[in-house]
Structure 1
Amino acid sequence: MKVRKHIREEIGDSKFSILVDETCDVAKREQMALVLRFVDEDRILQERFFALIHVTNTKAATLKEVLSSLLSKHAFDVQNLRGQGYDGASNMRGEFNGLQALFLRECPYAYYVHCYAHRLQLALVSASKEVVTVAQFFQKLLFIVNTVDSSARRHDELRDAQLEELARLLAIDDIETGKGANQICTLKRPGDTRWGSHLGSISSLKKMFKAVNSVLQNIASDGSAGSIRADGDTAFNYLSSFEFIFVLCLMEEILEITEDLGQALQKKSQDIVNAMRLVCTTKVLLDEMRSDDGWEAFFDRVVEFCVNHSIDIPDLGETYIMCGGRARRQPDHFTKEHYLRVEVFRATLDTQLHELEFRFNDKVLDLLTTSATLIPKNKFRSFKADDICELVKKYYPADFTQQEIYGLEQQLKHFVVDASNDKELKNVSTLTNLCRYLFETGRHSIYNLIDRLLRLLLTLPVSTASAERAFSTLKIIKTRLRNTMEDDYLANSLLVKIESEITEKYSYEDVLMHFKGAKKRKANL
């Protein structure tokens, strides 16, 4: 009660956003986590876990009713809602009947921002669906992982094979040693809904390539069962083909480029304007990889890997024969180099660039892109006070009166001159730091309208990482041995655990005094 009261007082009458995500706990009960994002009085961006709600029906209307009831119970005004963040589930993001659409009908300024980390993940997954060779690669990858990971016996074989390979590398002094280095690993399964799982699966396979190769050969030669031998032989043929290795290296490099962006998007302090800057740098790196120089450097790395692992390298000048229906569309003089370079390498990168371009193109970004010109470190390139004021009229008419918009335009002009002459202010690179700096220097009272605009922009969510972290804590608190916990007790335990920073402010004496001051039960009167 004290922690929730503290969070409610932190928000006060400020504008806030909601981050919502769903998962099943160990008892197979559907749970919905609610996280509130806001800027507190000290201009610090906060994402506070507020509640865990058991929902028996995941329809958008039901979720809306449950969330509205909870917000109303704690005296939150839905009209102060300025953002919604979900992971992309259809019942939440639907434009007509989804949860975001239902809230928009009640509060038209509660802009929906699709979780950026999940958007990036969807962009990568879509590449595997658009490029046939890449789609087949992930099917083969999953088959290899399942074959090697089929039993405890295979686990032991894989472990022994890794130990033998490490012993060989140590004997020839081809590997560095040190505390925590050269740990025994396991293969990871790729999953579309688990961030970073594709990169983890590919990286683990490359790292354990020789050990996996050895285990598959043993399975293929095992005389115990014909079906198992067939799986081992098929998986071994996949693993030893040049095309599989080519796509393995390609997807690893693409995923490594986007991994830093994915991790950055999940930081609590990340503001949405800075997130867009990271998207732009990711597109630049992918475009550089697509160039002729990028192709040459990449292909050299693929050849080096194949040589080190005795994989046959085909003659790139030979004619490539497509299989199935694709052979009908095959042009004349279709070489293996053309197939790998154009049909696989460039096609995959083009899909990534296309998805990044269009999936990060919401109406909200119109306001955010223009607002980025407020950042002093950008040297106010393309800055126009009129444009910002017009966008404020368009997106936040309930937060600024016509007279205040005129005042905002004048404050923006003064702010540009002030920031251009302040050495410390010149180095501010994010909206989060700018909002904080104005408060620390007392300028927030002078530029009160700019301060209000910054707080609204920072309220917009970037990802649902905080809600997902709550589910990690859920697995710790509600285990197989404690699967009968009541909903209220579970939600309260999570709140105290996750918001331990607030919990530490209260002593046992505070709690005792609270109970002493409470009214006596009727039974004791």
Structure 2
Amino acid sequence: MVSEEVGDKYFCILVDEARDISKREQMAIILRFVNNHGILTERFFSIKSVSDTTSMNLKNEISNVLVHHDLHVKKIRVQGYDGASNMRGAWNGLQALFLKDCPYAYYVHCFAHRLQLTLVSAAKGVNVIWKLFSHLDNIVNIVISSTKRIPELHIAQRNEIEYMLSIGECDSGSVLGDHSPNGRAKAEVREIYRNMASFEFVFILNLMHKIIRTSYTLCQIFQRKSQDILTAITFVTTTKTCLQEFRECGWNEFLQEVKVFCSRNEIDMLDLDCLYKIGRSCRQTTIEHHYHIDVFNAAIYFILMELNTRFNEPSVELLSLSTTLDHKNSFDSFNIDDICKLATKFYPGDFIDQEIVALEYELIYYKLDVMQNLKVSILVELCQQLIENGQSNVYVMLIRLIHLVLTLHVSTTTTERAFSAMKHVKTALRNKMEDDFLVDCLTLYIERGLAKHIDVNSIIDEFYALKSRMTQFR
């Protein structure tokens, strides 16, 4: 059982809510903690049906589940929810209500959600990029609106791949046929194709592909299970560095890639030396200058600005001080005073004055000992190795602090995986089954550690067995 693994340890609660196929609100609860072997773990805990999604009701439901499994709210050290007002509200949100009962249950907004909001805000900040996504919506709608266009698109793609394999180059492929029943739809198809075949569309499409590809690794890092926050912060910094280098040094190479793309796909290139009038003003510049400064530089600038705003960890003192435990680069950031400050300021309920003194002495010996003997790359591995080597009995206060820092989560994607598992079971066909029974069965099934290998028939068998037992009890 998950509650037995957690025991009296500190833990983080990750909570998300979503509607199932029956349009009922379901709340998934995940617990994040460090187990007895020093392994950072995120485990499914419960799914609850909730009719009322107000912050107070959600708080009561979560508290009841924890109490039922002998877990104490006072042991919560981190809360992880999405950005909805009922969850993250500073005054009446769920996180604020838990902070009244447990003042050290710090709220961390899901990093994956932050990155998504970063890309959306940046797209809105540059008008031509926002127009691109509007065009993409129209393209998708046109294709899926006709049952004949989808297979025709597949045929065009297959022909293009075969051609590429035969000559080693790209071909423009086949243009979608027009199976629209009226003239208006034909005009829409022509307009969409005209936009797709424009230099501006190609330029923005390639630029966004480059930016999203650069941030893809960061996105994957955020969605890994049991990711520690120090590693995530490091990758945020690396991503910002890559984007800044692309902005400063990547223009010529990128422009050449766009030119090659246009040539291969028979897209008319603009004369980049021609004058370009900016908006309603009288200011004129060249077309190349416009795409370089007003589009290329501006798009990357907005991305960097949003990343700095949404991932401004130096302004979040808790996370900033946590990085002092990072042992990369020969403990360059290791600072005994900052580590003690982390314990005294943010976890005063977990360290009495005598323990802070003990922590300081442990850190002096630890720095010399660990630098010479431990070979690990991330904080999670350090925690495991200290326990495996029996050194957790020496660095008692330090291990306690490391456990607290490791509960700081990166994302709430584990809750979304729980909802994915729910979709395997709660299909429209099975929706006639009583919801409460079905949720209980799913909860039992996932608690047994079988969620990674969902077997719908086994869950249904569990459902009928549980239902039969309850009927006999009645």
TM-score, normalising length from structure 1?
A: 0.83
**Structure 1 residues 271, 223: closer, same or farther in 2, change over 3 A?**
closer
How far is the alpha carbon of 1:169 from its aligned partner?
Answer: 2.8
Q: Helix, strand or coil for the counterpart of 2:78? A: strand
2:326–2:334 contact (8 Å) kept in structure 1: no
Of 236, 258, 261, which residue of structure 1 is paired with 2:193? 236
C-alpha distance after superposition, 1:429-450 (max 9, x if no partner): 2111111110000000100000
Q: Aligned AA for 2:429?
A: L
Q: For structure 1, which segment, 357-366 or 438-447, has the greater mean C-alpha deviation from structure 2 after superposition?
A: 357-366
How far is the alpha carbon of 1:388 from its aligned partner?
Answer: 1.4
How far is the alpha carbon of 1:223 from its aligned partner?
Answer: 7.1
Superposed counterparts of 1:294-309, under 5 Å: 294-309=250-265
Q: Give 2:343's aligned residue.
A: 392
1-structure distance, mates of 2:162, 2:451:
50
Superposed counterparts of 1:103-118, under 5 Å: 103-118=98-113
2:277–2:283 contact (8 Å) kept in structure 1: no
1:367–1:388 contact (8 Å) kept in structure 2: no
**Structure 1 residues 68, 363: closer, same or farther in 2, change over 3 A?**
farther
Superposed counterparts of 1:318-467, under 5 Å: 318-322=274-278, 327-328=279-280, 330=281, 332-361=283-312, 365-422=316-373, 425=374, 427-467=375-415
**Does 1:149 find its partner at 2:100?**
no
**Does 1:162 find its partner at 2:153?**
no
Q: Aligned AA for 2:361?
A: Q
Size of the alignment, in residue pairs?
Answer: 459
Of 449, 470, 476, which residue of structure 1 is paired with 2:424? 476
Q: Give the gaps of 5 or more residues in structure 2.
A: 453-457
Q: Aligned AA for 2:262?
A: C
2-structure distance, mates of 1:130, 1:173:
39
**Structure 1 residues 364, 344: closer, same or farther in 2, change over 3 A?**
closer
How far is the alpha carbon of 1:487 from its aligned partner?
Answer: 3.2
Superposed counterparts of 1:265-284, under 5 Å: 265-284=222-241
2-structure distance, mates of 1:362, 1:278:
12
Superposed counterparts of 1:175-194, under 5 Å: none
C-alpha distance after superposition, 1:341-384 (max 9, x if no partner): 11111111011111111111258842333333333333121432
2:29–2:45 contact (8 Å) kept in structure 1: yes
How far is the alpha carbon of 1:286 from its aligned partner?
Answer: 0.2
Query: Root-mean-square deviation (CA), in Å?
Result: 2.4
2:327–2:333 contact (8 Å) kept in structure 1: no
2-structure distance, mates of 1:73, 1:479:
29
Q: For structure 1, which segment, 54-63 or 136-145, has the greater mean C-alpha deviation from structure 2 after superposition?
A: 54-63
1-structure distance, mates of 2:230, 2:315:
11
**Structure 1 residues 451, 96: closer, same or farther in 2, change over 3 A?**
same
Q: Aligned AA for 1:258?
A: S
How far is the alpha carbon of 1:305 from its aligned partner?
Answer: 0.6
Q: Give 1:193's aligned residue.
A: none
How far is the alpha carbon of 1:269 from its aligned partner?
Answer: 2.6
1-structure distance, mates of 2:269, 2:83:
42
C-alpha distance after superposition, 1:471-501 (max 9, x if no partner): 1111111111111233333323333443453
Q: Aligned AA for 1:465?
A: T
2-structure distance, mates of 1:392, 1:498:
35
1-structure distance, mates of 2:371, 2:165:
58
1:375–1:429 contact (8 Å) kept in structure 2: no
**Does 1:133 find its partner at 2:128?**
yes
Q: Aligned AA for 1:481?
A: L
2-structure distance, mates of 1:502, 1:245:
46
2:313–2:320 contact (8 Å) kept in structure 1: no
2:14–2:29 contact (8 Å) kept in structure 1: yes
Q: Give 1:186's aligned residue.
A: none
**Structure 1 residues 383, 156: closer, same or farther in 2, change over 3 A?**
closer
Q: Helix, strand or coil for the counterpart of 1:482? A: coil
1-structure distance, mates of 2:314, 2:367:
26
**Does 1:261 find its partner at 2:218?**
yes
How far is the alpha carbon of 1:174 from its aligned partner?
Answer: 4.5
Q: Give 1:181's aligned residue.
A: none
Q: Give 1:493's aligned residue.
A: 441
Q: Give 1:248's aligned residue.
A: 205
1:470–1:494 contact (8 Å) kept in structure 2: no
